[in-house]
Structure 1
Amino acid sequence: MGLLTWRRRTDRRGATAAKSRDPHWDNVRAISGTLVVFGHLTDTITDRDGLRWLQIATWALRVPVFVMVAGYFSRADALTPREARRLTESILVPYLAIGLLHSAEQYHFYDNWSFSIAQPHWAMWFLLSLLFWRAGLPYLAQLRYPLATSVAVALAAGYISEFGGYLSLSRTLCFLPFFLLGWRLRQGLLADALTARWSRHAAIAVLAVTFVTAWFIRHEVPFSWLRMSSAYDGTYELPRLWDWTIRLGVLVLGTVIALAFIRLTPRGRVPLLTYLGTGGLYIYLLHPLVLRPLLRWFGVDWVGPWPEQLSLVLFTVALTIVLGSPPVRRLARPFVQPRLPWLFRAEPDAPAPARTVPAPAAAPDDQLVRVPGPR
């Protein structure tokens, strides 16, 4: 009887949690996270035509979409002590904890210990940038044109050589427009367009053109254009004055393709996919720790013809499912979603609302006591 009651309570809590989430964005996060794993698994063998094509075609569906999702769930409220505590627990501490695990792995496999807060480990730049984005959002929201300003900053940053991997400065500034766009989507920007019937057909056309075009230009697009992790410094082989045009094109195309993908992602609950999306951060933070030993022990140089490339894609999906599974989440929760009540002072109790004595109701006119006036 007790077990049955526990199951019913668990089911009710699970149903309540599911109702409080938007499955559309969980689905977006799950697909985008899977593509991120694929990108990191295959980024050393991009000379294979099929894999390089898929890397180019899905770029906007990976990091730009993941950044937009982060922006969608961010708030521009003032940085109160409670918000500072939330940022510390959800971003800063996981950044340090996962970074230590990366350092331990490097020491184990390569006998090289290195831990630098300012130089993020593999894929950890996202957390560092996210810390800056969320902390700065209350101030960015005060700008008259935050999106346009962020684009201008991203283009100008390419001319400053110091903006590179240090503190993830280059990516923080260059991917900021995607973060702010996600935040504006939560406020209702493009709400009608992203639900209109015509936009579905337009989104299908955008993704179709993207995948077809990516095949023909797969060897013409350097990945440095898409990573935006450093200054221009001759990267685009253009007159220096016009380097910004390439980055602007990347930002515009990335935005259009990302919005098309979001439009086509299922809005309702999808078995397994929606659940994986609820653990998108686990997938993102844990997959490099798993890929490093796999690449060390087995490598991916054996991948050759199309069937082998397809097997690597299927392996990516399987690995994503494992990383998003309940046992892995329970095991990794102290690192990914730590709770540190011992680190912070207890929040003061909110003052009890003052009791107000209701004013006496006015008597109807026919019940008013009339006082005779002076005669």
Structure 2
Amino acid sequence: MRLPIPRQRPRARRASRDPHWDNIRYFSGVLVVFGHVMDSVADRDGLRWLYIASWAMRVPVFVMVAGYFSRADTLTPREARRLIESVLVPYLAIGLLHSLQRHHYDGGEWTFYTAEPGWGLWFLLSLLCWRAALPYLAQLRYPLATSVFVALLVGYIADIGAYLSLSRTFTFLPFFLLGWRLRQGWFRDAMVALWSRYAALGVIAATLVIAWVVRHEVQLGWLFMKGPYGQGHLLDAPFAWVTRAGALAVGFVVALAFIRLVPRRHLPVISYLGAGGLYMYLLHPLMLRPLLERYGVDWVGPWPEQAALLLFALALATALATPPVRWLLRPLVQPRIGWLFRTGTAPAPRDPGPGADKGATSGSPERQLDVARPV
């Protein structure tokens, strides 16, 4: 007698990742690492040109990715736990490592770099503020236009600077809201139309040419946006806002063109590594500082040496996004600290909701910067 074979329940399918956004994470993350290795040698013509030309494709795009995977839901206890576990705890943990490194290399009085975030950490602190404020900003009639106005206004407030990353939180907020609007369907048809591909190619080509022409006129402080007008060599009041407005406008156009040109299909290796974009972004300063302290970058001179520096940055960025590194350092970048919270506040997976890309993964915006599984 043949026994009946019990039917197995089909396994719940993981929400699939959108390869388009994983590709964007990888390319923009690599450019962020490029920017940091070029910081102290931006006086070399080639590197200065690349630094200026790629600015809008680096941090503005990374901020737009965070906005794209954010929701304007009310901040419930579960959402609060998401922010604490995915943003605040990694910010404090990595900030402690930055502090230990700085104390080791610089000596002097011990300083815990939390109030004034260390290299690249401002992004997490700003992300915490953006995500917490989004439900309230979404109630405004024109949230994006309002954020641009505020970004221009805060440059006149002397007390808003690097402390708690306030200046960058306000000035990069428009990019966060633009990413959120993209998720809601802004420019959806235009971003897939054939004409927009050629327009985007023209924008990127013009950016590369213009950046070369104006490389010595553009002052890098215009792009940092980490302090009030009058610092970082911005124009003096009352027309200092014009420079920042121009930078924001260029950032919007070039970032959208970059997103349009990044392939939407799955790219071997690239799409896979793009899931580790946040690891790439947060960990590379900790890897770079010992190398720069030991070897420096004074050896960088002509074009071959500049190319070698960029190849090193590419290798470092790629290595930090690989699965072994992510597995090893997950407790630092994506900690699980359920013991800290009351029961009943565990984050649950959510449906992407109306207007979302069907290929995009559900889950918290912070984890969507990186991993495939919803939380």
From the superposition, tell whether residues 348 and 38 of structure 1 become closer, same or farther in structure 2 (CA, over 3 Å). Answer: closer
Write the distance in 1 (CA, Å) between the matches of 2:297 and 2:231. Answer: 31
Q: CA–CA distance in 1 between the matches of 2:208 and 2:295?
A: 30
Does the CA-based 8 Å contact 2:235-2:243 persist in structure 1? no
Q: Which string of whole-angstrom CA distances, capped at 9 and with x for unpartnered residues, describes residues 186-221 of structure 1?
A: 000010111111000000000000001100111110
Corresponding residue of 2:104: 108
336-345 or 103-112, which deviates more: 103-112
State the alpha-carbon separation in 2 of the partners of residues 196 and 87 from structure 1: 36
In the alignment, which residue of structure 1 is the partner of 2:207?
210
Asked if 1:51 corresponds to 2:32, the answer is no
Report the alpha carbon displacement of residue 42 of structure 1 after superposing the two structures with TM.
1.1
Q: Are the structure 2 counterparts of residues 237 and 345 from structure 1 closer, same or farther at C-alpha, using a change threshold of 3 Å?
A: closer
Segment of structure 1 superposing worse, 219-228 or 99-108: 99-108
Question: Which residue is equivalent to 2:280?
Answer: 283
Calculate percent identity across the aligned residue pairs.
65
Asked if residue 169 in structure 1 is aligned to residue 133 in structure 2, the reply is no
Q: 1:320-335 counterparts in 2 under 5 A?
A: 320-335=317-332
Maintained 8 Å contact 2:167/2:227: yes
Structure 1: distance between partners of 2:249 and 2:84:
33
| 1:328 positional shift | 1.0
Any conservation in 1 of the 2:221–2:233 contact (CA below 8 Å)? no
- Written as runs of structure 1 = structure 2, the 5 A alignment for 1:257-276 is 257-276=254-273
Query: Could you list the runs of 5+ residues in structure 2 that have no partner in the other structure?
Result: 1-10, 347-375
| Aligned residue type for 2:58 | R
Does 2:84 match 1:92? no
What is the aligned partner in structure 1 of residue 138 from structure 2?
141
**1: distance between equivalents of 2:327 and 2:145?**
41
What are the superposed Cα offsets for residues 135-187 of structure 1, whole Å, 9 maximum, x if unpaired?
00000000000000000000000100111000100000000000000000000
The CA deviation at 1:238 is 4.3
1:158 is paired with a residue of what secondary structure?
Answer: helix
CA distance in 2, matches of 1:271, 1:38: 22
- Cα pair distance change 1:310/1:239, threshold 3 Å: closer
Larger radius of gyration: 1
Contact 1:68 1:182 in 2 (8 A): yes
Q: Give the direction of change, closer, same or farther, for the CA distance of 1:326–1:154 in structure 2 (3 Å limit).
A: same
Q: Which residue of 1 aligns with 2:33?
A: 37
Please say if residues 53 and 215 of structure 1, whose CA atoms lie closer than 8 Å, have aligned partners that are also in contact: yes
* Separation in 2, partners of 1:316, 1:239: 36
Unaligned runs of 5+ in 1: 1-11, 350-375
Q: TM-score, length-normalised on structure 1?
A: 0.87
SS of alignment partner, residue 41 of structure 2: coil
Distance in 2 of aligned mates of 1:124 and 1:147: 24
Show structure 1 runs of 4+ deviating over 3 A. Answer: 234-239
Deviations along 1:24-69, whole A, 9 cap, x unmatched?
Answer: 0010011000000010011000111000000000000000000000
| 2:56 is equivalent to residue 60 of structure 1 | yes
Q: Distance in 1 between matches of 2:234 and 2:252?
A: 24
Write the mapping of 1:174-323 to structure 2, written as runs, cut at 5 A.
174-233=171-230, 238=235, 240-323=237-320
Question: CA contact under 8 A between 2:222 and 2:234: conserved in structure 1?
Answer: no
Amino acid at match of 2:32: V
Deviation of 1:235 after TM superposition, in Å, equals: 5.3
- Find the aligned partners of 1:205 and 1:348 in 2 and give their Cα distance: 49
Aligned mates of 1:196, 1:243 — CA distance in 2: 37
Structure 1 pair 311/31, CA: closer, same or farther in 2 (3 Å)? Answer: same
Higher relative CO (Cα under 8 Å, sequence separation at least 6) belongs to: 2
Q: What secondary structure does 1:346 align onto?
A: coil
2:72 pairs with 73, 76, 94, which one? 76
Question: Shift of residue 237 of structure 1?
Answer: 6.1
CA separation in 2, counterparts of 1:108 and 1:267? 44
TM-score by length of 2: 0.87
Distance 1:321 1:104 in 2: 25
